[in-house]
């Protein structure tokens, strides 16, 4: 052949176009035999001319070389989680909350439209395209960091290797396409039938099979499973400015991505609810699992100004369908002990399939929950998967009792250490007060090593239990002494050189986790991941945390006196302070790495509160401007507030500032202070 490069390019274009028509548009344009001929010819040409090989070639969709591990990928823009609504009332409550914030931000007069989409029960992923070419794919992970599954995603024919933009339309420099990888129901049934015939274990549900397929070490194994994708949004982008979610979906379709054709745009919350109900009624008529509908405010400017609470956007919500239920026997009620000493009963069930998953255990929350539901051991009970994920016991079928059932009695001593339990005033939960309780120590270690905290791969519950029983682990700091016991670890049954060295490498890597992650990992009561992020604003280092009093801690956004007291109580223990110093000595990050505020900025040393809508700035931009000028932005007004900036519809913060005598500036006043045209206001003496 005189021009193999030209023929390779031609074949790739023919095959890509056929893939797009078949997998994205569901409109086949060529016969299977002709498609197969093209593929064989392309494989032969690439084999004869290795210099023409490319990751974008359709031949790569049958799988690349197996991976040894999945590298972490930090998302350029966080992949947020959705809050849930069940029914019209909770949906309306979400809209009232969003509307209230819109009014505070000066957007109360805007006409709002909503987008309603099916909530695909699959695996959320992010696809990065650079100059129109697919360069990286990652799982959602914890929303901040996912896993690199690029090679496996390349095997999914519904994902374009190159964007198919109209002629003359340049691709953006960078764009992250967000979507949900899933296994069609028909393909799932066929896959399970094949596995069963081969004597292999079957998958519990399509979501599990999709997740398992996408995380195969060998991409060729992924290629054997007919995964598909629905694309539903855009994350980070450069060179792409779209005014609405609808415009983003239109752009995705035009660029060759698979977008669900049944997405609807509606004009009011009543129509939103009707569309959600419609999806619930027809969930069984589509060839993919859905566990709800997703509702989004269409306007991107409104989305950005509404922002998020924790990791959930204010501008979107998941309308969850009623969970699947089943009936089984309650064989027993056991009690576990958590890291804070809480005694939590859980149900032991006769195995039952609920929503496609086999359930053997279910949560019962606390002893009051057991009493309220009137459960007895031996009952026939209704089980549901709350949110289609966490199994729970709804209640007993009293009419089916035989008289052989027995009541449940909460133990008066800790099942792990035999210490008498207590029930603090005002609390439902019974607790073990023994801080040396083996269960509390082990659960605390597991929390510390978990992905959201120090992310120490290989240090799971079984390993922690083993190391605790061997006397190797009794505190967080002991983890960082494990490298000194390498020979002892290797000598233990079930451990080998490679697994031990991988664990020690993960322990070493955890030393670089940011200060908020360490703070969260300590397991201080009431301090979750979001609260830990807020606390570092007032305690940006270990030394600052140790020196902080309750009033200082309570100034952090969203942190009140109860949380502040809990933190201070933790720090009042000499043993906990000694633990923190051991962690510092081990080399862990105990300082929040943020740019230093200018020493002589116009707002250096000043604390500012923003309230109401601003015209020149978004809320985030205003915060950045104040910080760049040396100031600190907090979420609540107090005696330590230097001044308040009040925009349109300022709300209760303005009234509190006036009652405390805190100076108030309008937006023009803030601009004047930031530009140096006028000094920041001073509080009156007294």
Has residue 23 got a pLDDT over 80?
A: no
Say yes or no: 539 and 641 in one domain: no
Say yes or no: 179 and 279 in one domain: yes
Q: ∠ at Cα 209 (205, 212), nearest 5°?
A: 140
- 142: in domain: yes
Could you tell me the CATH number of the domain that includes residue 644?
Answer: 3.40.50.10190
> What b/e string do you get for 43-69 counting C-beta neighbours within 10 Å, with b at 16 or more?
eebbeeeeebeeeebbbbbebbeebee
Backbone φ and ψ of 357, nearest 5°: -115, 145
Structure tokens at 251: 């752009």
pLDDT at 25: 62
Say yes or no: 145 and 191 in one domain: yes
Q: ∠ at Cα 606 (604, 607), nearest 5°?
A: 135
Give me the DSSP letters along 493-518: TT--HHHHHHHHHHHHHHTTS-HHHH
Could you tell me the CATH number of the domain that includes residue 152?
Answer: 3.30.470.30
Cα 198 to Cα 211: distance, rounded to the nearest angstrom: 21
Q: Is 386 left (phi over 0), alpha (psi -120 to 50) or beta?
A: beta
Has residue 423 got a pLDDT over 80?
A: yes
Has residue 537 got a pLDDT over 70?
A: yes
Say yes or no: 228 and 280 in one domain: yes
Has residue 513 got a pLDDT over 90?
A: yes
From 118, 6, 124, 141, select the one nearest 71 (Cα to Cα).
141
pLDDT at 141: 83
Say yes or no: 228 and 241 in one domain: yes
Say yes or no: 373 and 463 in one domain: no
Q: ∠ at Cα 206 (205, 207), nearest 5°?
A: 95
Element (H, E) at 45: helix 32-48
506 close to 459: Cβ distance less than 8 angstroms: yes
| pLDDT tens digits, one per residue of 111-163 | 899 999 999 988 899 999 999 999 999 998 878 888 899 999 999 989 999 99
- 85: in domain: no
Has residue 390 got a pLDDT over 70?
A: yes
pLDDT at 17: 81
Say yes or no: 140 and 249 in one domain: yes
How many residues can be counted in the chain? 686
Say yes or no: 528 and 491 in one domain: no
Q: Which of 50-64, 215-229, 596-610 has the lowest mean pLDDT?
A: 50-64
Q: What is the mean pLDDT of residues 390-413?
A: 88
- Strand pairing partners for 329? 380
Q: How confident is the model at residue 64 (pLDDT cuts 50, 70, 90)?
A: very low
- How many folded domains does the chain comprise? 6
Cα 480 to Cα 461: distance, rounded to the nearest angstrom: 17
260 close to 232: Cβ distance less than 8 angstroms: yes
Long-range contacts of 541-548 (CB under 8 A, 24+ apart): 541/515, 541/590, 541/591, 541/592, 542/515, 542/580, 542/584, 542/590, 542/591, 543/590, 545/519, 545/571, 546/571, 546/577, 546/580
Q: Catalytic: which of 119, 320, 632, 653?
A: 119
| pLDDT tens digits, one per residue of 460-504 | 999 999 999 999 999 999 999 999 999 999 999 889 899 999 999
Could you tell me the CATH number of the domain that includes residue 361?
Answer: 2.40.50.140
Say yes or no: 164 and 257 in one domain: yes
From 542, 478, 480, select the one nearest 511 (Cα to Cα).
480
Q: How confident is the model at residue 63 (pLDDT cuts 50, 70, 90)?
A: very low
| pLDDT tens digits, one per residue of 215-229 | 787 788 788 888 999
Residue 125 has a CB neighbour count (10 Å cut-off) of: 25
Three-state SS for 618? Answer: coil
Cα 346 to Cα 344: distance, rounded to the nearest angstrom: 7
Say yes or no: 191 and 299 in one domain: yes
Q: How confident is the model at residue 519 (pLDDT cuts 50, 70, 90)?
A: very high
Q: How confident is the model at residue 546 (pLDDT cuts 50, 70, 90)?
A: very high
Rounded mean pLDDT of the chain? 86
pTM above threshold 0.85? no
- 555: in domain: yes
168 close to 219: Cβ distance less than 8 angstroms: no
Say yes or no: 117 and 163 in one domain: yes
Domain boundary among the residues 401, 418, 453 is at 401
Could you tell me the CATH number of the domain that includes residue 553?
Answer: 1.10.150.20
Q: Is residue 632 annotated as a catalytic residue, yes or no? A: no
- 523: in domain: yes
- Strand pairing partners for 164? none
Parent domain of 377: 325-401
- 430: in domain: no
Q: Where are the alpha helices (DSSP H) in 391-528?
A: 438-449, 461-469, 486-491, 497-510, 515-521
Q: What is the mean pLDDT of residues 594-617?
A: 77
pLDDT at 522: 95
520 close to 528: Cβ distance less than 8 angstroms: yes
Say yes or no: 126 and 232 in one domain: yes
Whose tokens are 């007291």? That residue is 565
Has residue 523 got a pLDDT over 60?
A: yes
Cα 144 to Cα 141: distance, rounded to the nearest angstrom: 7
């Amino acid at each position: 052949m005189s021009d193999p490069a030209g023929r390779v390019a031609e074949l790739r274009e023919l095959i890509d176009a056929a893939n797009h028509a078949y997998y994205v548009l569901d409109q086949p344009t060529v016969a299977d035999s002709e498609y197969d001929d093209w593929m064989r010819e392309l494989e032969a040409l690439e084999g004869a001319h290795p210099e023409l090989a490319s990751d974008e070639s359709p031949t790569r969709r049958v799988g690349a070389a197996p991976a040894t591990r999945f590298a972490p990928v930090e998302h350029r823009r966080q992949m947020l989680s959705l809050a849930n609504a069940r029914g019209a009332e909770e949906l309306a409550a979400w809209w009232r909350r969003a509307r209230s914030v819109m009014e505070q931000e000066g957007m109360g007069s805007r006409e709002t439209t909503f987008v309603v989409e099916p909530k695909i029960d699959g695996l959320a992923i992010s696809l990065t395209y650079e100059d129109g070419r697919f360069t990286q794919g990652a799982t959602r992970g914890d929303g901040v960091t996912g896993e690199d599954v690029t090679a496996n995603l390349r095997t999914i024919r519904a994902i374009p290797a190159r964007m198919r933009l109209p002629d003359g339309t340049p691709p953006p420099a960078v764009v992250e396409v967000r979507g949900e990888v899933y296994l069609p129901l028909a393909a799932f049934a066929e896959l399970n039938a094949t596995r069963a015939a081969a004597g292999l274990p079957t998958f519990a549900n399509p979501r599990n099979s999709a997740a398992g397929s996408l995380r195969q070490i060998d991409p060729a194994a992924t290629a054997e499973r007919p995964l598909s994708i629905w694309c539903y949004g855009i994350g980070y982008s450069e060179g792409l400015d779209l005014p609405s979610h609808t415009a983003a979906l239109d752009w995705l379709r035009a660029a060759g991505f698979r977008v669900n054709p049944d997405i609807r745009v509606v004009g009011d919350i009543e129509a939103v609810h009707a569309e959600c109900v419609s999806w619930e009624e027809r969930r069984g008529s589509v060839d993919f699992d859905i566990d709800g509908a997703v509702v989004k405010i269409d306007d991107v400017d409104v989305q950005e100004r509404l922002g998020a609470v924790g990791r959930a956007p204010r501008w979107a919500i998941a309308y969850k369908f009623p969970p699947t239920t089943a009936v089984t026997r309650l064989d027993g009620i056991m009690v576990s002990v958590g890291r804070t000493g809480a005694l939590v009963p859980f149900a032991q069930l006769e195995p039952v399939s609920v929503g496609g998953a086999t359930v053997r255990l279910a949560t019962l929350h606390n002893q009051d929950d057991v009493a309220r539901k009137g459960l007895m051991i031996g009952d026939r009970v209704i089980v549901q998967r709350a949110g289609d994920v966490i199994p729970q016991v709804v209640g007993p079928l009293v009419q089916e009792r035989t008289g052989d059932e027995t009541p449940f009695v909460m133990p008066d001593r800790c099942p792990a250490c035999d210490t008498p339990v207590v029930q603090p005033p005002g609390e439902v939960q019974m607790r073990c007060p023994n801080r040396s309780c083996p269960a509390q120590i082990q659960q605390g270690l597991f929390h510390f090593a978990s992905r959201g905290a120090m992310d120490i791969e290989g240090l799971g519950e079984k390993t922690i239990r083993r190391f605790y029983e061997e006397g190797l682990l009794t505190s967080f700091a002991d983890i960082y002494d494990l490298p000194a016991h390498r020979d002892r670890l290797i000598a233990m049954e079930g451990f080998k050189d490679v697994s031990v060295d991988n664990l020690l490498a993960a322990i070493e890597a955890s030393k670089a986790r940011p200060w908020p992650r360490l703070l969260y990992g300590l397991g201080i009561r009431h301090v979750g991941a979001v609260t830990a992020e807020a606390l570092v604003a007032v305690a940006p280092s270990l030394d600052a945390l140790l020196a902080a009093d309750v009033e200082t801690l309570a100034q952090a956004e969203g942190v009140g006196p109860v949380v502040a007291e809990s933190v201070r109580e933790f720090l009042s223990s000499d043993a906990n302070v000694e633990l923190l110093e051991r962690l510092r000595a081990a080399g862990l990050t105990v300082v929040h790495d943020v740019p230093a505020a200018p020493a002589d900025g116009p707002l250096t040393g000043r604390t500012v509160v923003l309230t109401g809508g601003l015209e020149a700035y978004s809320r985030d931009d205003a915060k950045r401007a104040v910080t760049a000028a040396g100031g600190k932005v907090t979420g609540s007004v107090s005696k330590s507030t230097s001044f308040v900036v009040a925009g349109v519809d300022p709300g209760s913060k303005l009234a509190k500032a006036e009652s405390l005598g805190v100076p108030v500036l309008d937006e023009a006043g803030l601009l004047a202070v930031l530009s140096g045209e006028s000094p920041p206001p001073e509080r009156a003496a007294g």
